[in-house]
Amino acid sequence: MSKVINTSGKRKTAIARATFRPGKGVVRINSLILDVFSTELARMKIAEPLQLVPTALEGVDVAIKVRGGGVMGQAEAARTALARGIVQWHSDPKLKDVYLAYDRSLLVNDSRQKEAKKPHGRGARKKFQKSYR
Q: How many CB atoms lie within 10 A of CB 83?
A: 31
Total number of domains in the chain:
1
- In this predicted structure, the answer to whether residue 1 has a pLDDT above a threshold of 80 is no
Closest-CA residue to 12 (of 114, 116, 115): 114
Residue 111 lies in a domain: no
Contact 109, 84 (CB under 8 A): no
Could you tell me if residue 24 is inside a domain?
Answer: yes
- Cβ neighbours of 118 (radius 10 Å): 12
pLDDT of residue 65: 97
Residue 119 lies in a domain: no
**Is 127 among the domain residues?**
no
Residue 22: CATH number of its domain:
3.30.230.10
pLDDT (0 to 100) of residue 2: 83
Query: Which of helix, strand or coil describes residue 6?
Result: strand
For residue range 18-53, what is the model confidence (pLDDT) as tens digits? 999 999 999 999 999 999 988 999 999 999 999 999
Range of the domain at 12: 5-106
> How much is the mean pLDDT over the chain?
93
71 within a domain of the structure (yes/no): yes
130 belongs to a structural domain: no
Query: Do 20 and 62 contact (CB within 8 A), yes or no?
Result: yes
Residue 122 in domain: no
Is position 62 within any domain?
A: yes
Residue of 6, 8, 3, 46 lying closest to 28 (CA atoms): 46
Tell whether pTM > 0.75: yes
Asked if pLDDT for residue 62 goes beyond 80, the answer is yes
